Amino acid sequence: MTETPTTLPTQMQSGIRVDLQLVADQIKPNSRVLDVGCGDGMLLAYLRDYKHVDGRGLELSMARVSGAVREGLAVIQGDLDSDLKHYPEGAFDYAILSQTLQATRNPKGVLEDLLRLGTHAVVSFPNFGHWRVRLSLLLRGRMPSTPTLPESWYDTENIHLCTIKDFLTLVDDMGVTIEAGFALDGHGQKVNYAVTGWLANLFSEQALFVLRR
């Protein structure tokens, strides 16, 4: 499930989506990057053009792959649940998984794969601990539907949603180092809560982490 699953903010800033800009900011110039679920390659093109990154992409949607390849990007059609295993250990400096972890069949396995083939993993996901989500279930008694997670339960591709706290517990269990973490609003812009604190888990709509083996 590599296709970017949710309708994400498309606010543009210097030609690139703001949530992607923050991801791009985590990448050191001249590094080797695998963007898993790269869509039409917007981030990869940016990294190539502005950071001289040697990039690869994996994307489920053939239409998006086609668009990315036409941009001259090294993008292949594939499914991250089955295709990540082919890449060798330490092949990349960064493995990026943007807003897709919650749509994978085996998020823990995917994280392990990302940290096997990349020295760093850059992972972002919607926070299911956001107050709107909590309130939606508590007061309406129905599966949450929020601006960040608008789909109904029966047609969402998000099968493994988690809160920031859940994610922190998982990476702790895995013995993974968190190099950086950001609490984000609905547009993918940084907000001023410590990502590991309870405020972030309640008030930020998304989170972004840079992990290291």
Annotate 160-199 with DSSP letters as a single string. S-B-HHHHHHHHHHHT-EEEEEEEE-TTS-B-SS-TTSHH
Give 54 or 172: the residue with its C-beta nearer to another protein: 54
Q: Are strands 54-59 and 75-77 parallel, antiparallel or unpaired?
A: parallel
70 binds another protein (CB under 8 A): yes
Could you tell me the CA-to-CA distances from 89 to 93, 95, 97 in Å, in that order? 11, 11, 17
Q: Where do we find the tokens 């390659």?
A: 41
Minimum distance between the CB of residue 208 and another protein, rounded to whole angstroms?
25
For position 69 contacting another protein by CB under 8 A, the verdict is yes
What are the φ and ψ backbone dihedral angles of 184, each rounded to 5 degrees? -125, 155
Answer yes or no whether residue 77 interacts with another protein by CB under 8 A: yes
Q: Quick check: 135 binds another protein (CB under 8 A)?
A: no
Contacting residue, 10, 29, 86, 155, with another protein by CB under 8 A: 86
Select the residue interacting with another protein from 3, 83, 151, 166 (CB under 8 A).
Answer: 83
200 φ, ψ (degrees, to nearest 5):
-60, -45
- As measured in angstroms, the least distance from the Cβ of 149 to another protein is 31
Size of interface with another protein, in residues (CB under 8 A): 23
20-59: which residues touch another protein (CB under 8 A)? Answer: 32, 54, 56
